[in-house]
Amino acid sequence: MVFNTGAALLDAIVLAVVSTETEGTYGYKITQDVRKALDVSESTLYPVLRRLQKETYLEVYDMEFGGRNRRYYKVTGSGREKLLEYCNEWNEYSGKISNIFAEVER
């Protein structure tokens, strides 16, 4: 993709992906789901997950899976509020851009 991805957009996408799993989801799956929209590495996403946790938008818990602990991430109430804020801003922003692009002669 030729457009730069800002931190806020990446935060919004991660919150959206995690919010689809009511019991939470783990890092590798989050990476795979985010990659459906953006080309990002796991090393890019884990700092995002830590930041969202620090900001209390995500809660974290460990659960045993295949003899090992797996870290799960779940959206908090304040995380859902932030996600709705991101969605509203994105709809307004992308609508304006789409209107400008619609005026371009092809």
- Give the tens place of pLDDT for each residue, 36-64: 988 888 888 999 999 999 999 999 999 98
Nearest to 83, CA basis, from 15, 8, 5, 31: 15
- Give the tens place of pLDDT for each residue, 21-33: 999 999 999 999 9
Q: Is 80 exceeded by the pLDDT of residue 3?
A: no
pLDDT for res 6? 85
Split at pLDDT 50, 70, 90, the class of 2 is: low
| Residue 72, CA distances (Å) to 5, 15, 16, 30, 76 in order | 25, 13, 15, 10, 13
Tally Cβ neighbours within 10 Å of residue 18.
25
